């Protein structure tokens, strides 16, 4: 439990607050106690003065009984332990305690010490020096004693009794002792209060800290922890859902980002791994299938030669020969696909290719009561494709569609049309030079596998090389130079130090200087020098306009593909057809389309159909 970060934090905070409250309380209690004692002292002093002045008249008249009476009645008050009047030589003359009358008090005893410290009586002494606090025994309450000297006055020696000589300065002292039990109780109470307060504060602070730690630290950390466990268990699709904006939030979002990248990398790895095994399989299959195919092809073409005068056979044999040659091309393309080789491209009309594919599967489809609906755009330009491979793509798609509609029958819709896509995000800068025609393409530093554009940056006394993403529309620039690039930094060619900044121009988005590169015949490429801006301009590409692609949609009204299966369908050997399929069809399609610089996507809804 103590290993938990929350507990450690709570402990640290609680300990700190305990220390602070403790120190504060100590000084507070101290002051309070001093104040209380001082108050009692003042009170006692006042009382002494009162006693002295109230007994003064009686003393003049030498009415000793009355003095004793006053002393006794004062001494009977609670808190007042005793009241005594001592004469010059220390004899107790009056006392609230009758028994102590006429007893001598040792001049060295504590009550006298203040005045007689140096064996000579001091006439004027301050209140603090007249006060003493003592305990009769260790268990009893504290007692405060105060001595008030009774000074000789003219009236004392002129009085009738003439008890005192005129040269005497101090006639005696009044000694009052007051119990501090009440004060001590008060102090103890505040001590207890403070301790209770301190503990309460610590507990409350602990709870509050605990609450926030749980909300801000423990919960997100636990989320992260369970995410890492999920990842390590292989679930790379796991993402942390609640992401704050603090450091842990950033950690979580970068963690999510990492898993996403990881998942993508794994997918790629999977794909290439599958391709590799497909390659091995294809190599084996090629050899094994090509031998029997040789038998079929040689015998059928042999027959074709020998039955030249029999047109009835000729037609059928031609089909056999043609289809066997197609099989040969398929096996070859399987090998080619496995080796990712370049397709044999020729300009062809895609509509014709699709028509040919439809003729191949037409019989099969009509048996299954499936109609093919064509929605061709007439104006499709000829595109450079391997018509054999593309035909294969469509045959495979049609067969799949037919299988999906096996029981019910339905309609396959094939639509072609021309679409335009912007070159943004796809065009790679392959050449870039400074004004003095130094090549700036850095073959040693690649961003996403493509050689990046290098730029030397000089900022104050630092200099380093930054790399610009060579793909137009993509900004994985690398500004990692180990120092901060300030506003006045210069961007120059690493070879000749000629400035790469476009004069009289700033980035329209952020106002930073604009870097310019000479791309030779492809014009100039401008990009904002700021790391955080994504502004860039390449007139050559922009003016070339959007690129045209042919989009072909093959839709069916079949059973659809479930969501779990959807991302697996292009995997080699993934099949939902059981024994009927080998799971290679869509994988081969994927490879062919990829080789034609195309993309293939799928959209499907269970029960309604699928569109490629």
Partner 1 sequence: MNKAADILVIDDEQVIIDAVIKICALEDYTVDSAINTKTGLEKISKNFYPVIISDIMMPDGDGFQILDAINKSKKDSVVIMTTGFSTVENAVNSLYRGALSFIPKPFTVDELLSVLFRAKNYIKIMKEEKSFSPQQRDKELIYVTCPAKYLRLGHSTWMFQEREGSVLIGICDIYMKAIESVNNIEMMQLEDELIQGTGCASLTSNDERIHKILSPLSGRIVEVNNNVINNPSLLEKDPYFEGWLYRIIPANLDYEIKYLIPCSSDRL
Instruction: Give least dist CB 225 to partner 1, A.
Output: 50
Closest CA to 451 of 473, 427, 469, 476: 469
Q: 225 with 232: CB under 8 angstroms?
A: no
370 binds partner 1 (CB under 8 A): no
Q: Which residue number, 42 or 339, has a Cβ lying nearer to partner 1?
A: 339
291 binds partner 1 (CB under 8 A): yes
| φ, ψ (nearest 5 deg) of residue 158 | -95, -5
324 binds partner 1 (CB under 8 A): yes
508 binds partner 1 (CB under 8 A): no
Structure tokens at 372: 């093919």
346 binds partner 1 (CB under 8 A): yes
428 binds partner 1 (CB under 8 A): no
Structure tokens at 318: 């031609």
287 binds partner 1 (CB under 8 A): yes
- Buried b / exposed e over 44-82, threshold 16 CB at 10 Å, is bbebbeebbeebeebbbeeeeeebbebbeebbeeebbbb
Length of the chain: 612
Instruction: Give least dist CB 572 to partner 1, A.
Output: 20
> Given the structure tokens 């980035």, which residue do they identify?
507
433 binds partner 1 (CB under 8 A): no
289 binds partner 1 (CB under 8 A): yes
User: Cα separation of 343 and 330, whole Å?
Assistant: 12
341 binds partner 1 (CB under 8 A): yes
From residue 587, give the alpha-carbon distance in Å to each of 274, 581, 593. Answer: 10, 12, 10
From 298-306, 420-428, 507-515, 563-571, give the range in contact with partner 1 by CB under 8 A.
298-306
Three-class SS state of 408: coil
User: Cα separation of 491 and 499, whole Å?
Assistant: 6
Q: Which residue number, 36 or 286, has a Cβ lying nearer to partner 1?
A: 286
User: Cα separation of 529 and 134, whole Å?
Assistant: 84
Find the binder of partner 1 among 230, 253, 290, 307 (CB under 8 A). 290
Residues 225-284 interacting with partner 1 (rule: CB under 8 A): 283
Q: 343 with 592: CB under 8 angstroms?
A: yes
The residues pairing with 92 across neighbouring beta strands, listed in sequence order, are 86
> ∠ at Cα 525 (524, 530), nearest 5°?
145
43 binds partner 1 (CB under 8 A): no
13 binds partner 1 (CB under 8 A): no
Instruction: Give least dist CB 570 to partner 1, A.
Output: 24
320 binds partner 1 (CB under 8 A): no
Q: Which residue number, 245 or 291, has a Cβ lying nearer to partner 1?
A: 291
Q: Which residue number, 58 or 323, has a Cβ lying nearer to partner 1?
A: 323
From 162-170, 322-330, 460-468, 513-521, give the range in contact with partner 1 by CB under 8 A.
322-330
Find the binder of partner 1 among 293, 415, 441, 458 (CB under 8 A). 293
437 binds partner 1 (CB under 8 A): no
Find the binder of partner 1 among 134, 155, 208, 295 (CB under 8 A). 295
User: Cα separation of 579 and 562, whole Å?
Assistant: 19
User: Cα separation of 528 and 507, whole Å?
Assistant: 6
Q: Which residue number, 385 or 452, has a Cβ lying nearer to partner 1?
A: 385
363 binds partner 1 (CB under 8 A): no
Using CB under 8 A as the criterion, which residues of the chain lie in contact with partner 1 when the complex forms? 283, 286-299, 301-302, 304-305, 321, 324-325, 328, 332, 335, 341-342, 344-347, 384
């Amino acid at each position: 439990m103590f290993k938990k970060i929350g507990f450690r934090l709570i402990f640290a905070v609680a300990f700190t607050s305990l220390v602070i409250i403790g120190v504060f309380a100590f000084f507070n209690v101290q002051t309070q106690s001093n104040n209380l004692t001082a108050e009692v002292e003042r009170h006692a002093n006042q009382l002494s003065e009162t006693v002295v002045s109230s007994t003064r008249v009686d003393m003049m008249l030498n009415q000793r009984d009355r003095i004793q009476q006053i002393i006794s009645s004062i001494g009977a008050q609670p808190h007042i332990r005793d009241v005594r009047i001592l004469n010059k030589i220390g004899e107790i003359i009056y006392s609230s305690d009758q028994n102590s009358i006429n007893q001598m008090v040792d001049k060295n005893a504590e009550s006298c010490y203040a005045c007689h410290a140096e064996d000579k009586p001091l006439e004027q002494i301050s209140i603090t020096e007249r006060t003493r606090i003592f305990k009769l025994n260790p268990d009893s309450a504290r007692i405060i004693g105060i001595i008030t000297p009774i000074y000789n006055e003219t009236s004392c020696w002129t009085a009738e009794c003439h008890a005192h000589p005129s040269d005497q300065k101090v006639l005696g002292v009044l000694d009052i002792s007051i119990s501090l039990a009440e004060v001590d109780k008060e102090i103890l109470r505040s001590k207890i209060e403070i301790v209770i307060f301190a503990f309460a504060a610590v507990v409350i602070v602990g709870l509050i800290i605990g609450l926030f730690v749980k909300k801000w630290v423990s919960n997100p950390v636990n989320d992260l922890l369970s995410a890492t466990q999920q990842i390590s268990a292989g679930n790379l699709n796991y993402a942390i859902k609640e992401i704050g904006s603090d450091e842990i939030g950033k950690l979580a979002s970068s963690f999510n980002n990492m898993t996403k990248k990881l998942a993508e990398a794994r997918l790629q790895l999977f794909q290439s791994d599958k391709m590799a095994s497909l390659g091995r399989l294809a190599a084996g299959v090629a050899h094994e299938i090509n031998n029997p195919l040789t038998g079929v092809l040689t015998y059928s073409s042999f027959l074709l030669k020998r039955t030249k005068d029999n047109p009835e056979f000729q037609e059928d044999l031609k089909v056999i020969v043609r289809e066997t040659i197609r099989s040969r091309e398929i096996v070859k393309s399987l090998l080619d696909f496995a080796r990712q080789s370049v397709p044999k491209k020729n300009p062809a009309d895609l509509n014709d290719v699709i028509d040919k594919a439809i003729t191949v599967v037409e019989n099969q489809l009509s048996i299954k009561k499936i109609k093919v609906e064509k929605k061709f755009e007439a104006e499709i330009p000829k595109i450079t494709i391997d018509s054999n491979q593309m035909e294969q793509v469509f045959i495979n798609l049609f067969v799949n569609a037919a299988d999906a509609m096996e029981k019910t029958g339905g309609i396959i819709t094939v639509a072609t049309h021309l679409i335009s896509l912007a070159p943004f995000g796809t065009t790679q800068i392959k050449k870039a030079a400074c004004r003095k025609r130094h090549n700036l393409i850095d073959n040693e530093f690649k961003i996403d596998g493509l050689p990046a554009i290098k730029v030397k940056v000089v900022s104050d006394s630092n200099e380093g090389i930054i790399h610009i993403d060579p793909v137009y529309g993509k900004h994985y620039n690398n500004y990692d130079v180990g120092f901060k690039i300030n506003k006045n930094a210069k961007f120059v060619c690493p070879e000749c130090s000629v400035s790469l900044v476009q004069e009289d121009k700033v980035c329209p988005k952020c106002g930073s200087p604009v870097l310019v590169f000479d791309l030779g015949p492809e014009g100039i490429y401008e990009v904002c020098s700021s790391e955080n801006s994504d502004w860039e301009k390449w007139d050559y590409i922009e003016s070339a306009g959007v690129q045209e692609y042919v989009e072909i949609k093959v839709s069916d009204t079949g059973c659809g593909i479930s969501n779990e299966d959807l991302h697996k369908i292009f995997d080699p050997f993934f099949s939902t057809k059981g024994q009927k399929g080998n799971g290679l069809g869509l994988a081969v399609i994927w490879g062919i389309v990829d080789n034609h610089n195309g993309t293939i996507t799928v959209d499907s809804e269970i029960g309604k159909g699928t569109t490629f």
